[in-house]
Structure 1
């Protein structure tokens, strides 16, 4: 227990977490602090491009067969978390079918911000991890969203309630899940990092490299503000109904570490797989779900994924995943 407290304490003192906490405080004290929309869009693009470029550069030195076990595991974990989440929110927490599939899509998908925080944590303590994990992030983002919407549409057909909405079609959903802003920027970054000349990459390093963590800190300041605002949308719902927002990350993270060990990942690689499995999407999933499951309350799935699970993972989840991983390695 002392070890996990020490890890959590060290994590809390990292600049990224402190910026996130300042964002929370800004909302709690009703500060007039605001981040312009254009600025938010700009630094989101820089962050996602940087992750992709770094992953693309590292993929040059990795054989596909070396990645294959992690790719298969990532797909299985994504789908497994979809069904675990549906069981929790529908059977135990008694949410409607619409909200249950919407929430499950978010918790079966992944969070790029939590992923970056996990990488920064490993870099800080100088722990090795497999360099292709950025590609695993991309692989885990879309499948659960697509499957959740397909299963929801099958439910509507079974109930005789299917509606003809072009924005809810499978084709549109696939486009949103796999070619929405976040995944498109990640894929674009991977492509650039994989094919660009080393000299060319050096020219863009000041922006997509040297400034990365500074920009990320401002992003997390903004996320802290949005997370706190999202929590306020949940005030009319019983707090116990959102216990899943803390249990699912712990379950997903634990399964992720056990899976990472099973397929032969390093301690750092298993930790990152746990971070991904225990996270919840709040960029790709909301865009697709808003179109395909319009009856689901956006305040519930955004409030839980962004307002509860993200802070939990940043402050407590990451230390727990690393602590549990050290017990097995």
Structure 2
């Protein structure tokens, strides 16, 4: 128990977590601090490009067949979390079908910021991990989003004529939307660019990365708190799923990764990905394909509750679990 307490304390004192907590505090005390929307878009592009470029460079030394078991596990976990989330929300928390599927799309997908924070944690601890882990992030981004929207269309056939482009838009957002496009683009650049060329862009997509990420997390802390303030009229117990699902996903993810032979660091990363929830790709697709869903519910739970839970508790907890599995 003392080990996990020490790990949590170390994680809490990391600059990324402290910046996120500052963002929360800024909204609580009604500070006039604001981050321009253009800056937010720029931060997102740099972060996703950097993840992709780093993954592409590392993929140069890995064969596709080496990745296959992990890719299969990632697809399985993504769809599994879609159905676990839907079942939990529908049967236990008594959410309606529309909001259950919308939220399930988010929890079956993944969070790039949680992924980066977990990587930073591993590097700080000096723990190695599979070099292709960025590719697993890409694999887990879209399947649950597509699955949730297809299920929504099948369960609401009478509404299909009112929004016939929903599934097509979902495929576009899940596989060619901003986040996935930037990740894939970054991986391609990392794979084919020369070492000299990559060295020239290192100051922006390397040296400055964690500083930019800290400012991004400050902004996310503000957005998360603002989203939670909008959720009036709901009982606190209605959002317990936002803490239950990352626990379920994290422990299942670490277990599956360990069973297929991934390293301790790799198992931790697959666990934290399974525990995370999307707030970039999923909202863009769900807003268009399932417009009846409440954005406050899926953004408030994913960004306002699950993201901080994983950053503060999930990362050290799943690291501890992966180290003893």
TM range, smaller chain? over 0.9
Give the whole-Å Cα distance in 1 for the aligned partners of 2:47 and 2:243: 26
Give the whole-Å Cα distance in 2 for the aligned partners of 1:76 and 1:198: 35
| Unmatched runs of 5 consecutive residues or more in structure 2 | none
Q: Shift of residue 161 of structure 1? A: 3.6
How is 1:1-329 mapped onto 2 (pairs within 5 angstroms)? 1-157=1-157, 160-168=158-166, 170-328=167-325
Give the whole-Å Cα distance in 2 for the aligned partners of 1:166 and 1:288: 14
Give the whole-Å Cα distance in 1 for the aligned partners of 2:250 and 2:156: 32
Give the whole-Å Cα distance in 2 for the aligned partners of 1:25 and 1:18: 10
Give the whole-Å Cα distance in 2 for the aligned partners of 1:106 and 1:325: 24
Q: Shift of residue 326 of structure 1? A: 1.4
Give the whole-Å Cα distance in 2 for the aligned partners of 1:236 and 1:33: 27
| Unmatched runs of 5 consecutive residues or more in structure 1 | none
Q: Deviations over 1:218-240 (max 9, x none)?
A: 00000110111111122320111
RMSD: 0.8
Q: Deviations over 1:295-318 (max 9, x none)?
A: 000010000000000000000011
Q: Deviations over 1:104-123 (max 9, x none)?
A: 00000000000000000000
CA contact (8 A) 1:78 1:108 kept: yes
Structure 1 window deviating more from structure 2 (317-326 vs 304-313): it is 317-326
Runs of 4+ in 1 over 6 A off after TM superposition: none
For the residue of structure 2 that corresponds to 1:294, the secondary structure is coil
Q: Deviations over 1:40-93 (max 9, x none)?
A: 111110110000000001010001111000000000000000000001111111
CA contact (8 A) 1:166 1:172 kept: no
Normalising by the residue count of structure 2, what TM-score does the alignment of the two structures yield?
0.99
Give the whole-Å Cα distance in 2 for the aligned partners of 1:231 and 1:172: 28
How many residues were matched structurally? 325
CA contact (8 A) 1:22 1:221 kept: yes
CA contact (8 A) 1:107 1:280 kept: yes
Give the whole-Å Cα distance in 2 for the aligned partners of 1:161 and 1:295: 11
Q: Shift of residue 166 of structure 1? A: 4.2
Normalising by the residue count of structure 1, what TM-score does the alignment of the two structures yield?
0.98
